[in-house]
């Protein structure tokens, strides 16, 4: 180490986005290295982030982690693997501000403190672990001056924390190649196109209110790999072609093809969950009503207006090709799934406000004044208030970035939460 005393703290803060898979990842061929049985494709989400500060100091006496302000153990293999992999790639680091030098060989002896926060409720089941591990790895790499020896190497490290975390390092549209190597070195994420390639795409996340206790995705996919014959057929015989088709749909900004593939692949993923023994149910009757809304609308128009996808939970992630269609989609959702009577509309629809402005909805009462053409007022969904908790309007977003010191979540002097 280049300095003497214990009275210094070095820290970095990064932000990494959540992502939503449109060709799903379900099932590992290696539990420890988190190697998947098929490739997957995701869209990086704007407005849904993890922010993580990582700090080192000779005064720290153990690795410690605070998630949304609450301390949790860092003893799980997943954290330890990520930390160990970044440490082994650390270099000499000079702190520009203080001139402090941490030598390459010193990193292995320094404990880390980590504080991480999501800007969305973790309970909502919106891939918080993907954003979290991507952010941890990205922040650690920047703190320790770690360099990739090949492109995508950091994504392989984030993958050790949570499979889908590898996709959260990049913006826009991202592919996670399943890879072939036993080491997992080629099971990495690569960007298909950056977010501005398809900037008109609008993403609306419908967070379902009542949630039963769910099977974790780690446990769920283990059981599926063991018991679902359909899952193995899907991984081997169906996904490879869908990956090609989805890449093409994205490159061509072909919304009808994107929509058909996205919906079909979401449904097939949930089909393999149902084919699991005992069966796993992530969608509920509200999820099915949201699917019905989209499918009925698409059938009426004769061409896909919107698309839906569901991860390991009941929340819908809906896509519209542009602002105009998104406005219509949002109006339909608000009309058919109105907020609870006492809800504050500004908390019912969060994220990007431009679609709400376009839809001209400023109050809960405005929803009741929406035009309801016969073709959608006739939809046989009961208008149960409060069936959805809230909605998030989003867009394709950017990947992980380093933030300046104003974003630090640990105290600069102590390295502990302030």
Which range touches a copy of itself (CB under 8 A), out of 37-45, 48-56, 99-107, 293-301?
Answer: 293-301
Number of residues that bind a copy of itself (CB under 8 A): 32
Identify the three-state secondary structure at position 11: strand
In three-state form (DSSP H/G/I as H, E/B as E, the rest C), the secondary structure along 164-217 is: HHHHHHCCCEEEECCCCCCCCCCCCEEEEECHHHHCCCEEEEEEECCCCCCCCH
By CB under 8 A, tell whether 230 contacts a copy of itself.
yes
Contact segment (CB under 8 A) with a copy of itself among 143-151, 166-174, 291-299, 388-396 equals 291-299
Residues 296-315 binding a copy of itself (CB under 8 A) are 298-299
Which H helix or E strand runs over 325? helix 323-336
Asked if residue 284 binds a copy of itself (CB under 8 A), the reply is: yes
Candidate ranges 9-17, 132-140, 230-238, 334-342; the one touching a copy of itself (CB under 8 A): 230-238
Structure tokens at 252: 């061509």
**Helix H or strand E encompassing 290:** helix 285-301
Question: Footprint of a copy of itself on residues 387-416 (CB under 8 A)?
Answer: none
Output b/e per residue, 314-335; b: 16+ Cβ within 10 A.
bbbbbbbbeeebbbbbbbbbbb
Whole-number minimum distance, CB 24 to a copy of itself, in Å?
Answer: 13
How far apart are CB 161 and a copy of itself at their closest, in Å?
30
Q: Within 13 Å of residue 311, how many CA atoms lie on the same side as its CB?
A: 24
Part of the chain binding a copy of itself (CB under 8 A), chosen from 12-20, 80-88, 114-122, 282-290: 282-290
For the bound state, the minimum distance from the C-beta of residue 38 to a copy of itself, rounded and expressed in Å, comes to: 14
CB of 80 to a copy of itself, least distance (A): 32
Of residues 251-270, those binding a copy of itself (CB under 8 A): 260, 263-264, 267-268, 270
**Element housing 52 (H / E):** strand 40-56
DSSP state of 406: G
Contact string (CB under 8 A) for a copy of itself, positions 176-215, x = contact: ------------------------------------xx--
Query: Site for a copy of itself (CB under 8 A): which residue of 4, 5, 99, 278?
Result: 278
Least distance between a copy of itself and beta carbon 271 (Å): 4
Q: Which one among 191, 272, 305, 328 touches a copy of itself, defined by CB under 8 A?
A: 272
Candidates 281, 402, 407, 417; binder of a copy of itself (CB under 8 A) is 281
For residue 256, the minimal CB distance to a copy of itself (Å) is 13
- Residues 81, 262: Cα–Cα separation, whole Å: 32
State the nearest-atom distance from the C-beta of 318 to a copy of itself, in Å: 15
Q: Are 136 and 54 in contact (CB under 8 A)?
A: yes
Strands 64-67 and 349-351: unpaired
All residues at 6 or more sequence positions from 248 whose CB lies less than 8 Å from its CB, including other chains: 254, 257
Find the shortest distance in angstroms from Cβ 296 to a copy of itself.
9
The smaller minimum CB distance to a copy of itself, of residues 240 and 412, is found at 240
Helix (H) or strand (E) segment spanning residue 113: strand 112-118
DSSP state at residue 396: B
Query: What CA–CA distance (Å, rounded) separates 56 from 224?
Result: 40
Rounded CA-CA distance 26/4 in Å is: 49
Q: Which DSSP category does 38 fall into?
A: S
Residues 25-54 close enough to bind a copy of itself by CB under 8 A: none
Choose which of 291, 293, 312, 356 interacts with a copy of itself (CB under 8 A): 291
Which listed residue (108, 199, 226, 288) binds a copy of itself by CB under 8 A?
288
Q: Buried b vs exposed e over 181-198: b needs ≥16 C-beta within 10 Å?
A: eeebeebbbebbbbbeeb
Radius of gyration of the chain (CA): 22
Residue placing its CB nearer to a copy of itself in the complex, 233 or 362? 233
Enumerate binding residues for a copy of itself (CB under 8 A): 212-213, 227, 229-230, 233-234, 237-238, 260, 263-264, 267-268, 270-272, 274-279, 281, 284-285, 288, 291, 295, 298-299, 380
């Amino acid at each position: 180490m280049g300095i003497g005393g214990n009275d210094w703290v070095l820290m970095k803060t990064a932000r990494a986005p959540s992502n939503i898979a449109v060709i799903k990842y379900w099932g590992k061929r290696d539990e420890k290295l988190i190697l998947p049985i098929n490739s997957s494709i995701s869209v990086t989400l704007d407005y849904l982030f993890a922010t993580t500060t990582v700090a080192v100091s000779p005064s720290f006496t153990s690795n410690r982690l605070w998630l949304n302000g609450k301390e949790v153990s860092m003893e799980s293999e997943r954290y330890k693997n990520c930390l160990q992999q970044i440490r082994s790639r650390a270099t000499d680091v000079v702190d520009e501000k203080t001139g402090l030098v941490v030598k390459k060989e010193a990193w292995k002896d320094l404990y880390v403190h980590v504080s991480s926060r999501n800007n969305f409720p973790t309970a909502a089941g919106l891939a918080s672990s993907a954003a979290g591990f991507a952010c941890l790895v990205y922040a650690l790499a920047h703190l320790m001056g770690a360099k990739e020896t090949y492109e995508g190497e950091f994504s392989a490290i984030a993958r050790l924390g949570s499979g889908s975390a590898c996709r959260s390092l990049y913006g826009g549209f991202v592919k996670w190649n399943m890879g072939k190597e036993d080491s997992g070195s080629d099971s990495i994420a690569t960007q298909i196109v950056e977010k501005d390639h398809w900037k008109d795409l609008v993403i609306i996340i419908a967070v379902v209110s009542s949630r039963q206790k769910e099977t974790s995705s780690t446990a769920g996919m283990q059981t599926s790999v063991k018991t679902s014959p359909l899952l193995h057929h899907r991984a081997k015989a169906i996904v490879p072609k869908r990956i090609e088709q989805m890449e093409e749909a994205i490159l061509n900004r072909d919304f009808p093809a994107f929509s058909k593939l996205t919906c079909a692949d979401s449904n097939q993923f949930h089909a393999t969950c149902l084919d699991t023994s005992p069966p796993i149910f992530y969608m509920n009757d509200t999820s099915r009503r949201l699917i019905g809304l989209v499918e009925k609308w698409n059938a009426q128009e004769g061409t896909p207006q919107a698309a839906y996808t569901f991860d390991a939970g009941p929340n819908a992630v809906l896509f519209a090709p542009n602002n105009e269609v998104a406005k219509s989609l949002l109006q339909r959702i608000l009309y058919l799934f109105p907020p609870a009577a006492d809800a504050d509309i500004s908390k019912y629809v969060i994220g990007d406000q431009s679609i709400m402005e376009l839809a001209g909805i400023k109050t809960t009462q405005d929803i009741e004044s929406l035009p309801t053409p016969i073709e959608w007022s006739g939809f046989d969904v009961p208008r149960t208030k409060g069936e959805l908790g809230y909605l998030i309007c989003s867009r394709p977003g950017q990947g992980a970035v380093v933030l300046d010191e104003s974003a630090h979540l640990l105290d600069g002097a102590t390295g502990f939460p302030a």
